[in-house]
A and B are shown apart, each in its own frame.
Chain A
Amino acid sequence: MSYDKAFKMSMYRNMLEQRVFEKAVQEQYEEGNIPNSAHLYLGQEAIAAGVSMALRPDDYILPSHRGHAQILAKGCDMNRMMAELFGRVDGYCKGKGGSMHLAVAEHGVLGSIGIVGCNMALAVGAGMAAKKNGTGQVAVCYFGDGASNRGTFHEGMNLCSIQKLPVIYALENNHYGMFSDYRDMVNVEHISCRAAGYGVPGETVDGNDPWACYEAAKKAIDRARAGEGPSMIEFMTWRHNGHFEGDPDAREFLFRDPKEHEAWLKRDPIVVVRKQLIDEGTCTEDEMVAMEAEVRKQVDEAVAFAHASAWPPVSEVYTDVYAD
């Protein structure tokens, strides 16, 4: 496909915002401002960018536990996201959810999850709601190679298939589920081959190439909007950091092969696309630098916003238990 300059620049900006935001999260975690931990998306940005660029604002997403960037890419507010990671009152969940439990109802973000793989079942519900709404909305369920071994994968995909629900199962295969290499945890090279068993189209694409991610997502989303049912896309990628911040594997390579890591770093989607856009003449180095400064400023503001935001009052412990 050929894209115009505005589209290409938006794609790059979407990835860049994710990258700079997650780097800031890493820094803030290291400075002790983010309680517990965070599962960062660094290296996987092309997927959320490619998928989000094919979505409408009223579509739904069900993020994984590695969800910050998936949520940000959907168009959510950086300030309120960062405040949530800090546990502050201006966070989207008033500080009650944090990194792993972040929902943004007004943007169709149904909430990232601490119970890995539970969203593959919840996606059936999002798909059912979208179908009943009759508005052409779709639901994207993000999950990992590790999560693909949950039973919810099987039950969710089959039920979506027979009900022809507008759901896109977006498998981010970053090769590892916590400390386990997916090649030890499944006996197939490409997990997408399983989709056939449910009568669902499944394909594997390069998850570090935003254009390939976009095209695969667009095809699946068009199919879903047309009422033809779910699809599964397996995006092959690699996380740059450890499983969580504080994971010794990030520096010591207890589990990942440093050579494989180096090879994937060379395919860093931010570096590759930046170079591509300049080399092909889509934009100049100066335009890039200007955009980078803008994003940097936006993220700095989000960090400052989070710092300035108050802690939630302790009375918040007792609210939101039941709806009125």
Chain B
Amino acid sequence: MRKMTYRDAIIEALDMELARNPKAYIAGEDVASKMGGAFGATKGLVDKYGKDVVIDTPISETALMGMGVGSAVLGYHPFIEIMYMDFIGVCMDEIMNQAGKFRYMFGGQMSVPLMIRMVGGSTVYGAAHHSQCLESMLCHIPGIKVVWPSTPADAKGLIAAAARDNNPVIVVEHKGLYNMVGDCPEGEYIVPIGKAEVVREGADVTVVTWGLMRHKCMEAAEKLAAEGIDCEVIDLRSLKPIDTETLFASVAKTNKLVIVHEANKTCGLGAEIAALVAESCIDELDAPVVRVAGPDTSVPFSPPLEEEFRVAPENIIAGVKTLF
């Protein structure tokens, strides 16, 4: 299959969706600059679509998100870029109380077709204000969908799906993945929201994850295989809604569940996943659920500290081994 970077896959998906939908537009800080935003994920699009479709905004995340919600309600399909996920506090009211609630509280009169792209995660020593994984806060909000692609193909397919959804969909991109090269289908390609991927089939334990951690889990799974532990690795891809069918089927097969996420452990999405399994198929488990997650601290700056904070394959291996 054709290979491309995660970044180029994002640009291609945005390009195809802008071309397909005359109501779509991109807005964000420096998205129309020659750099194509802080991560180059909109590079070149302004040359093709012009400054009325790829719109640079001031450092005004509140107004930026308000523009997204307001115009979405009136029939447009904005693709809003928030540079770092850490900045969503600045526009949380627009996300939480407006985007997520308009359809419901106004009795279904209107919809909010809005894609919000943002960058999460550590890897570059960005410290407390440029490294967070805040997905579980977003998943807690009714009316919002959340996806986190971890490969170029998923980036393309999930952005296409988000761009065609009639609801606010948050697409989290991982800053450690932009340069990752991988397979990416040509032409129209959609990954449906709500569909997980079984990345590796295995018989002994289900390892559920998303984002950058998918790759760490795969590294761990290969090492564990050498020691005779056969992991089934599931990349959720959609964090809300969660593909419970795939999750429960895997738990029924392996009878063991390890949840791996980069975000802080307490109230992380792992808690929700464990609860879903406990509610629906606790009888299938023959051991306690294990969570391998970031510590309940901010992300520290100093390299050895960030590296200690991060979930590494060794942590995942140790977590899995507690079950064997």
Is there an interface contact between B309 and A317, defined as CB atoms closer than 8 Å? yes
Q: A114-B86, A186-B58 are in contact. Are A36 and B126 (CB under 8 A)?
A: yes
Chain A residues near B297 (CB-CB < 8 A): 317-318, 321
Is there an interface contact between A87 and B301, defined as CB atoms closer than 8 Å? yes
Is there an interface contact between B129 and A87, defined as CB atoms closer than 8 Å? no
Chain B residues near A95 (CB-CB < 8 A): 300-302, 305
4 nearest A-B pairs in the assembled complex, by CB-CB distance: A114-B129, A87-B302, A98-B301, A95-B302
Is there an interface contact between A96 and B296, defined as CB atoms closer than 8 Å? no
> 8 Å CB contacts to B: which residues of A170-185?
177-180, 184-185
In the complex, whether B130 has a CB less than 8 A from a CB of chain A is: yes
Q: A35-B125, A179-B34 are in contact. Are A150 and B90 (CB under 8 A)?
A: yes
For B79-92 the 0/1 string (1 means CB < 8 A from A) is 00000001101100
Q: Nearest residue in A to B301 (C-beta to C-beta)?
A: A98
In the complex, whether B288 has a CB less than 8 A from a CB of chain A is: no
In the complex, whether B308 has a CB less than 8 A from a CB of chain A is: yes
Interface centre among B29, B30, B59 (most CB of A within 10 A): B59
Q: How far is the CB of A140 from chain B (nearest CB, A)?
A: 20
CA distance A143 to B304 in the complex (A): 31
In the complex, whether A108 has a CB less than 8 A from a CB of chain B is: no
In the complex, whether A117 has a CB less than 8 A from a CB of chain B is: yes
Q: How large is the interface on B (under 10, 10 to 19, 20 to 34, 35 or more residues)?
A: 35 or more
In the complex, whether A116 has a CB less than 8 A from a CB of chain B is: yes
> 8 Å CB contacts to A: which residues of B154-179?
none
For B262-275 the 0/1 string (1 means CB < 8 A from A) is 00000000000000
Is there an interface contact between A178 and B30, defined as CB atoms closer than 8 Å? yes
Chain B residues near A227 (CB-CB < 8 A): none
Q: How far is the CB of A90 from chain B (nearest CB, A)?
A: 11
Q: A98-B125, A255-B34 are in contact. Are A317 and B59 (CB under 8 A)?
A: no
Binds B, one of A4-12, A42-50, A210-218, A308-316: A308-316
Residue among A113, A177, A255 making CB contact with B58, cutoff 8 Å: A177
CA distance A36 to B122 in the complex (A): 11
For A234-277 the 0/1 string (1 means CB < 8 A from B) is 00000000000000100000110000000000000000000000
For B60-77 the 0/1 string (1 means CB < 8 A from A) is 111100000000000000
CA distance A178 to B62 in the complex (A): 18
Is there an interface contact between B59 and A87, defined as CB atoms closer than 8 Å? no
In the complex, whether A100 has a CB less than 8 A from a CB of chain B is: yes
Residue among A96, A101, A149 making CB contact with B305, cutoff 8 Å: A96
> 8 Å CB contacts to B: which residues of A272-324?
311-312, 314, 316-318, 321
CA distance A231 to B89 in the complex (A): 27
Chain B residues near A35 (CB-CB < 8 A): 125, 301-303
Residue among A151, A180, A314 making CB contact with B56, cutoff 8 Å: A180
Chain B residues near A178 (CB-CB < 8 A): 29-30, 38
Is there an interface contact between A314 and B304, defined as CB atoms closer than 8 Å? yes
In the complex, whether B19 has a CB less than 8 A from a CB of chain A is: no
Interface centre among A115, A151, A186 (most CB of B within 10 A): A115
Is there an interface contact between A36 and B305, defined as CB atoms closer than 8 Å? no
> 8 Å CB contacts to B: which residues of A95-135?
95-98, 100-101, 113-117
In the complex, whether A146 has a CB less than 8 A from a CB of chain B is: yes
In the complex, whether A80 has a CB less than 8 A from a CB of chain B is: no
Q: A115-B89, A146-B58, A312-B302 are in contact. Are A97 and B128 (CB under 8 A)?
A: yes
Chain B residues near A36 (CB-CB < 8 A): 124-127, 130, 301
In the complex, whether A88 has a CB less than 8 A from a CB of chain B is: yes
CA distance A293 to B300 in the complex (A): 36
In the complex, whether A160 has a CB less than 8 A from a CB of chain B is: no
Is there an interface contact between B59 and A117, defined as CB atoms closer than 8 Å? yes
Chain B residues near A149 (CB-CB < 8 A): 58-60
Interface centre among B124, B127, B129, B301 (most CB of A within 10 A): B301
Interface centre among A147, A185, A186 (most CB of B within 10 A): A185
Chain A residues near B86 (CB-CB < 8 A): 114-115
CA distance A254 to B40 in the complex (A): 14
In the complex, whether B318 has a CB less than 8 A from a CB of chain A is: no
> 8 Å CB contacts to B: which residues of A203-227?
none
Chain B residues near A87 (CB-CB < 8 A): 125, 301-305
In the complex, whether B42 has a CB less than 8 A from a CB of chain A is: no
Q: How far is the CB of A64 from chain B (nearest CB, A)?
A: 12
Q: Nearest residue in B to A86 (C-beta to C-beta)?
A: B302
Is there an interface contact between B302 and A311, defined as CB atoms closer than 8 Å? yes
Chain A residues near B29 (CB-CB < 8 A): 178, 180
In the complex, whether B203 has a CB less than 8 A from a CB of chain A is: no
In the complex, whether B33 has a CB less than 8 A from a CB of chain A is: yes
Q: How far is the CB of A52 from chain B (nearest CB, A)?
A: 25
Q: A36-B125, A179-B35 are in contact. Are A100 and B56 (CB under 8 A)?
A: no
CA distance A115 to B128 in the complex (A): 10
Is there an interface contact between A97 and B127, defined as CB atoms closer than 8 Å? yes
Is there an interface contact between A312 and B58, defined as CB atoms closer than 8 Å? no
Q: How far is the CB of B310 from chain A (nearest CB, A)?
A: 10
Is there an interface contact between A151 and B62, defined as CB atoms closer than 8 Å? yes
Q: How far is the CB of A72 from chain B (nearest CB, A)?
A: 18
29 interchain pairs, CB-CB under 8 A: A35-B301, A36-B124, A36-B125, A36-B126, A36-B127, A88-B302, A94-B302, A96-B127, A96-B300, A96-B301, A96-B305, A97-B127, A98-B302, A100-B127, A100-B130, A101-B301, A114-B128, A114-B129, A114-B130, A117-B90, A146-B58, A177-B58, A185-B58, A186-B58, A311-B304, A314-B305, A316-B302, A317-B308, A317-B309
In the complex, whether B185 has a CB less than 8 A from a CB of chain A is: no
For B282-324 the 0/1 string (1 means CB < 8 A from A) is 0000000000000111001111110011000000000000000
Is there an interface contact between A101 and B30, defined as CB atoms closer than 8 Å? no
> 8 Å CB contacts to A: which residues of B24-66?
29-30, 33-35, 38, 56, 58-63
Chain A residues near B305 (CB-CB < 8 A): 87, 95-96, 312, 314, 316-317
